[in-house]
Amino acid sequence: MTRPSTSPPGLADNYGRVATDLRVSLTDRCNLRCTYCMPEEGLEWLAKPELLTDDEVVRLVSVAVTHLGVDEIRFTGGEPLLRRGIVGIVSRTTQLRPRPQVSLTTNGIGLARQAEALREAGLDRVNVSLDTVRADTFEQMTRRDRLKDVLAGLEAAQRVGLTPVKVNAVLMRGVNDDQAGELLQFCLDHGYELRFIEQMPLDAQHGWSRDTMITADEILEMLGEQFGLEPVDAATRGSAPAESFTVRGGPATVGIIASVTRPFCGDCDRVRLTADGQVRDCLFARTESDLRTALRAGAPDAELADRWRRAMRGKLPGHGIADPSFLQPARPMSAIGG
Ligand code: SAM
Ligand code: SF4
């Protein structure tokens, strides 16, 4: 099949990177309140008219896939399973040609109920966020008593073949940092692939501090000896954000996404679309490019693709968390689409 001609093709920035991996936020709402993400009372949610409709989401995803060379789509949020049309959106996305890889990042609540339909819609994989397997710590971190639902969601994902099932975990000092080994053992026992994500300054409450975050080095020190961790050849990493380590000679692995202490911005191939139709070239970007207005004004695909390409040219070489001048973006992680 020939790709429609575009000039220049793809989402290139001024530093030689080309974005092919699109993260699409389907909602900014959530049914958990993870302390590293949002405050107890939640946030001021986007109003319905601001949100892209299901048709609008699919239209923009289709522009990305058929005009801009995007070959991977990940639906996220907020909590993407709260989006009523999610199965239809996934189904229409997997029917695009060239067929993109389609995955979902979710907190797992409601996955037990929806896993089968999502699989039938063509979903390839899921990442489920789980920071602890202890009910009391789960409630402390998410402010909700929903551990059982998450565990049921993980099991359902495995059962219907949304594999490899990946688990994302954030460690917080004095909260769950003593449970890293327990969580890894749980994932090994169940055949889930665990990845620790360094806590980033993206919480709505601005509570992040470099001095208290748990670093990749600390995680390796905690787990290295007990689990016989050995780095997987860096050459196989490509643009993947996780550094991988085999557990006791393999084949099981554990990943560490060290966005703060070992940034991988030079290899970044990501671009993001918010639930209200704004392109963000980086999680930490302080500017966005509006596609929704042009879309609603009836712009043809070629114009939307041009706007999207232009939006990428301003992508900065790095997130600059280490710079004294670093400023957290106005949108928190839950509204960007993590
Ligand atoms: N609600 C879904 C979930 O939790 O998987 C999807 C959205 S959530 C924003 C995506 C991922 O971002 C989750 O794995 C979550 O743990 C992670 N996350 C949220 N806030 C973070 C922070 N401040 N630092 C690092 N990771 C964070
Ligand atoms: Fe919700 Fe995900 Fe944020 Fe937790 S990390 S509050 S599950 S959006």
Q: Locate the DSSP E strands across 263-334.
A: 270-273, 278-280, 289-290
Per-residue pLDDT at 320 exceeds 90: no
What is the DSSP secondary structure assignment for residue 22, as one 8-state letter? E
Using one digit for the tens of pLDDT, what is the confidence trace for 28-55?
A: 999 999 999 999 999 999 999 999 999 9
Nearest CA to ligand 1 atom 26: 199
Residue 282, annotated ligand binder? yes
pLDDT tens for 181-205 read: 999 999 999 999 999 999 999 888 8
Ligand 2 neighbour 30 (Cβ under 6 A)? yes
Check the annotation: does 69 bind a ligand: no
Instruction: Quickly count: other Cβ atoms within 10 Å of residue 163's Cβ.
Output: 15
Say yes or no: CB of residue 124 within 6 Å of ligand 2. no
Domain annotation for the chain: domains and CATH numbers: 11-169+267-336 (3.20.20.70)
Return all residues near 33 (Cβ < 8 A) that are at least 6 apart. 39, 40, 42, 142, 143, 144
**pLDDT confidence bin for 6, thresholds 50/70/90:** very low
Average pLDDT over residues 68-91: 98
Closest atom of ligand 2 to 33 CA is 6
Model pLDDT, residue 5: 46
- Check whether 69 has a pLDDT greater than 80: yes
pLDDT digits (tens, 9 = 90+) for 83-123: 999 999 999 999 999 999 999 999 999 999 999 999 999 99
Query: For position 235, what pLDDT does the model report?
Result: 64
Q: Which residue has the higher pLDDT, 157 or 211?
A: 157
pLDDT (0 to 100) of residue 220: 96
Q: Is the CB of 334 under 6 A from ligand 2?
A: yes
pLDDT score of 215 more than 70? yes
- Which tops the pLDDT comparison, 190 or 249? 190
Name the residue type at position 211: D
Here the tokens at position 225 are: 């000896």
Indicate if the pLDDT at residue 244 is higher than 80: yes
Contact between residue 77 and residue 30 where contact means Cβ atoms under 8 Å apart: yes
Q: Using the predicted structure, report yes or no on whether residue 152 has a pLDDT greater than 80.
A: yes
**pLDDT surpassing 70 at residue 10:** yes
- Residue 217 pLDDT level (bands cut at 50, 70, 90): very high
